[in-house]
Structure 1
Amino acid sequence: MNTKLNIVPFSGAEDIKLHLEGVSHAYGDGESELTVLEDLSCSVKSGELVAVVGPSGSGKSTFLSIAGALLTPSRGEVHIGGRSLSGMNERQLADLRLHEIGFIFQGANLLPYLKVEEQLRFVAKLGRADKEQAARRAAELLERLGLTARRKHYPDKLSGGERQRVAVARALMNDPSVILADEPTASLDADRGRDVTKLLAERIKAEGKAGVIVTHDERILPYCDRVLRLESGRLREG
């Protein structure tokens, strides 16, 4: 079976926010080389939430690291927000991650000594955003995610679902092109997991982001626009 996806051409496709073309990655060298991804191609459009699923060891973490500009592929091209990552130095990649990519992690990874609103303002400060604009952006996101009443609370005073909603707001704070979520519902029960995914999907559509969620949680797949399965280093639809 041909498992390669039908790819929308990147050139001139302005609504494509994330594009991987012919990406391969291997660890080691010579006889000990292990190929994790092989000739992988995919595109994610503005307003689209795509789920990537697959068994342990299928390359999901490597895929997410490459899509998030944390790892340079052995071969292939990555474009984020219309910009090619080829030839970028570490400082340029760090700047791109800060402004063009929003990360959501399994355990929320909130800073324990910052209140909810401060979590968002801190990210904006790192991005050198105007203070007044950052304050308005934070207030808007907290309202839309139902967190206004919790804005002065520390993470240890929040439920698991609330912490993940804060993580979603933080990922959106600097208005990135791409949102990448790594098992964001793994620590939540079924209802809270669905709620968080639904909120994430709504914000991605409302703000025109490209979203990718790597997950083992089959219960959240109905909230995603497409499901890609990663098997033996290759992606296929369905």
Structure 2
Amino acid sequence: MNTEAKKRIAPAAKLRLNGVSHAYGDGEALLTVLDGLSCSVAAGELVAVVGPSGSGKSTFLSIAGALLTPSQGEVWIGGRSLGGLSPRQLAELRLHEIGFIFQGANLLPYLNVEDQLRFVAKLARIDTGQAARRADELLERLGLSERRRHYPDKLSGGERQRVAVARALMNDPSVMLADEPTASLDADRGREVTRLLAERVKAEGKAGIIVTHDERILPYCDRVLRLEQGRLSEERV
């Protein structure tokens, strides 16, 4: 199969990993974390990835998010193969095509809610007027309009994570990746944040992956994949 044909594989899938393996170390100390892993996530689909500690979930997410190049296999985002892209091209792809949500929200303490979103728009070189409209829309849809001038230290844990969701959506990415986004939240706030994330993934046609230990949020996901011994298997929701 030629390169151009490969890049057209599974056009309905916003994210695709094919035969991905990754190992750390060398020689006898080689540790294989991912072993021939394949999966795809379609537009409007939120997929949960679960598994025991040390099973490779962070490595999986880093490869899916173009932060780490796999030892073997290929990754496609938006129908585009990441193979052969330069570090600069990968950085541009992350900025425009991927939205990251982290466990602790990771908001900038010196920026208010609205400016958290505008900062992303500035990095992505989004037109000022378009950025203002996008920020207004996201703040309204995520119930944050009345908190737009507040700084992170004045927000609840659930509000901070909602801001993190809005920030990740600001550059209108193809793929949303969330790493334990409910770990620091109580049950109600965790479900609220996951519900909002699922709503936005579906409404805006994103491919979403959420790595989690929190089984309470699994009903909000379309599929659940278990990562164990370097391979993925599908579980019932």
TM-score, structure 2 as length reference: 0.96
The answer for the alignment partner of 2:60 in structure 1 is 63
The answer for the alignment partner of 2:3 in structure 1 is none
Secondary structure at the aligned position of 1:108 is classed as: coil
State the one-letter code of the partner of 2:76. Answer: H
Secondary structure at the aligned position of 2:32 is classed as: strand
Secondary structure at the aligned position of 2:194 is classed as: helix
State the one-letter code of the partner of 2:111. Answer: L
The answer for the alignment partner of 2:139 in structure 1 is 142
User: Aligned pair in 2 of structure 1 residues 12, 90: CA closer, same or farther (>3 Å)?
Assistant: closer
In the alignment, does 2:65 pair up with 1:75?
no
- Residue 82 of structure 1, CA deviation: 1.2
State the one-letter code of the partner of 2:203. Answer: A
Q: 1:179 aligns with which of 166, 176, 181?
A: 176
The answer for the alignment partner of 2:51 in structure 1 is 54
C-alpha offsets along residues 164-200 of structure 1, whole Å, 9 cap, x if unaligned? 0000000000000000000000000000000000000
Aligned-partner Cα distance in 2 for 1:95–1:18: 17
Secondary structure at the aligned position of 2:17 is classed as: strand
Secondary structure at the aligned position of 1:73 is classed as: coil
State the one-letter code of the partner of 1:36. Answer: V
- Residue 10 of structure 1, CA deviation: 7.9
The answer for the alignment partner of 1:229 in structure 2 is 226
Aligned-partner Cα distance in 2 for 1:10–1:160: 40
- Residue 12 of structure 1, CA deviation: 5.0
In the alignment, does 2:127 pair up with 1:127?
no
C-alpha offsets along residues 74-103 of structure 1, whole Å, 9 cap, x if unaligned? 000000111110001110000000000000
In the alignment, does 2:195 pair up with 1:190?
no
Aligned identity (percent) is 83
The answer for the alignment partner of 1:163 in structure 2 is 160
Aligned-partner Cα distance in 2 for 1:169–1:82: 24
Secondary structure at the aligned position of 2:173 is classed as: coil
State the one-letter code of the partner of 1:153. Answer: H
Secondary structure at the aligned position of 2:136 is classed as: helix
The answer for the alignment partner of 1:218 in structure 2 is 215
Secondary structure at the aligned position of 2:68 is classed as: coil
Aligned-partner Cα distance in 1 for 2:9–2:65: 22
Q: 1:24 aligns with which of 16, 21, 25?
A: 21
State the one-letter code of the partner of 2:44. Answer: G
Aligned-partner Cα distance in 1 for 2:12–2:108: 34
- Residue 14 of structure 1, CA deviation: 2.5
C-alpha contact 1:58 1:233 (8 A) present in aligned 2? yes
Secondary structure at the aligned position of 1:106 is classed as: coil
C-alpha offsets along residues 42-71 of structure 1, whole Å, 9 cap, x if unaligned? 000000000000000000000000000000
TM-score, structure 1 as length reference: 0.95
Secondary structure at the aligned position of 1:186 is classed as: coil
Aligned-partner Cα distance in 2 for 1:145–1:15: 27
| Aligned-pair Cα RMSD in Å | 1.0
C-alpha contact 1:10 1:16 (8 A) present in aligned 2? no
C-alpha contact 1:16 1:81 (8 A) present in aligned 2? yes
Aligned-partner Cα distance in 1 for 2:145–2:19: 43
